[in-house]
Amino acid sequence: MPESKLQVKLLTGTPNPVSLIYAAFRQCYSPGFAGDLWPRLVNGDVSRDEQAGFIAKVLESGHDSPIEHVSYSFAVQGVSRALTHQLVRHRIASYSQQSQRYVDESGFEYVLPPAIARIPEARKRYEDFMSMTGQAYRDLKAILQEHGRGKKANEDARFVLPQAAESKIVITMNCRSLIHFFELRCCERAQWEIRKMAWKMLKLLSTELPVIFQLAGPRCRRLGYCPEGEKFTCGKMPLQP
């Protein structure tokens, strides 16, 4: 079984995201109707720079709920089941994950932790185990099929698969949830694999919608200090005053 490689692809996002967020903010503070304002926004009567500037000013006040109207969808592959178990704890999101019940895992790929990869004897032991696990999966699947389980053999054989087994998943989150996700998962205290994925997602969005994501990242980036306390700080930012 080969080692998998992380890939993150932005599939799609809400059309006219800046205009939509601007219209939502304006609706909060204006007696007018956002539906009447909308054609002027998408036709450019109000410039994109003006819209973005207004959004940035309101966000500075802490009012950020209107950014929930915009969402983005990502396709991710080359991640472990260990990562996806962490990921789905972010509940204001939608997930569609590759099923081990229906997908044959006879030649499953796996994620190799860097700390193991750096130590030759650890890497060999790890890769030997993955090979043994793959053989066990194939043996169990064949035995189950011989005893009448047919296509359902996958759902029982999968119980031997490790957390390292590679998975593919589609993720959709709104902007507010994404910012919260980045605050937690871009932090140095986050587990290395989900942190790597989070930074790749953020890099894509920083280009796609900079008015919202150019300052996103770990909480210390927004706060200007580390909120984790002396025991947990990575030392890159001063502690909370």
Give the pLDDT confidence of 84-101 residue by residue, as tens digits: 999 999 999 999 999 999
Catalytic residue selected from 149, 185, 195, 221? 185
Rg (the chain; Cα; Å): 23
- Kindly state the DSSP code that residue 187 receives in the 8-state scheme: S
- Kindly state the DSSP code that residue 238 receives in the 8-state scheme: P
Q: CA 100, CA 211: separation in Å to the nearest integer?
A: 39
Please give the average per-residue pLDDT across 149-169, as a whole number.
Answer: 96
Q: From the CB of residue 214, how many other CB atoms can be counted at a distance below 10 Å? A: 13
- CATH number of the domain located at residue range(s) 8-75+167-223 in this protein: 3.30.1360.170
Q: Whose CA is closest to 173, among 223, 212, 144? A: 212
Which pLDDT does position 166 carry in this prediction? 97
pLDDT of 47 over the 70 cut: yes
| Domain regions of the chain by residue span | 8-75+167-223, 107-164
Contacts of 57 (CB under 8 A, 6+ apart): none
Angstrom CA distances, 127 to 77, 120, 140, 208, stand at 20, 11, 20, 39
Q: What is the pTM of this model?
A: 0.94
Annotation marks residue 185 as catalytic: yes
Which pLDDT does position 2 carry in this prediction? 67
Contacts of 128 (CB under 8 A, 6+ apart): none
Task: Give tens-digit pLDDT for 115-132.
Answer: 999 999 999 999 999 999
Residue 222: pLDDT band (50, 70, 90) is confident
Which pLDDT does position 141 carry in this prediction? 97
Q: Whose CA is closest to 133, among 104, 165, 103? A: 165
Please give the average per-residue pLDDT across 12-33, as a whole number.
Answer: 96
